[in-house]
A and B are shown apart, each in its own frame.
Chain A
Amino acid sequence: DTAVSQTPKYLVTQMGNDKSIKCEQNLGHDTMYWYKQDSKKFLKIMFSYNNKELIINETVPNRFSPKSPDKAHLNLHINSLELGDSAVYFCASSPRDRGSEQYFGPGTRLTVT
Chain B
Amino acid sequence: GENVEQHPSTLSVQEGDSAVIKCTYSDSASNYFPWYKQELGKRPQLIIDIRSNVGEKKDQRIAVTLNKTAKHFSLHITETQPEDSAVYFCAALGSSNTGKLIFGQGTTLQVKP
A residues with CB within 8 A of B: 31, 33, 40-45, 48, 50, 55-56, 90, 94, 97-107
Contact = CB atoms under 8 A, between A and B. Distances in A.
Please report whether the interface of chain B is mostly helix, strand, loop or mixed according to DSSP: strand
Given A41-B87, A107-B43, A56 B101 contact: no
Interface of B: 32, 34, 36, 38, 42-46, 49, 87, 89, 93, 97-101, 103, 105-106
B57 to A, nearest CB: 14
A48 B99 CA distance: 8
Given A48-B99, A99-B98, A104 B45 contact: yes
Contacts, number: 61
Given A42-B106, A45-B100, A100 B93 contact: yes
B99 A97 contact: yes
Contacts of B34: 101-102
B100 A56 contact: yes
Contacts of A107: 42-43
Contacts of A44: 103
8 contacts: A41-B105, A43-B106, A45-B100, A90-B43, A99-B99, A100-B32, A104-B36, A104-B43
B103 A43 contact: yes
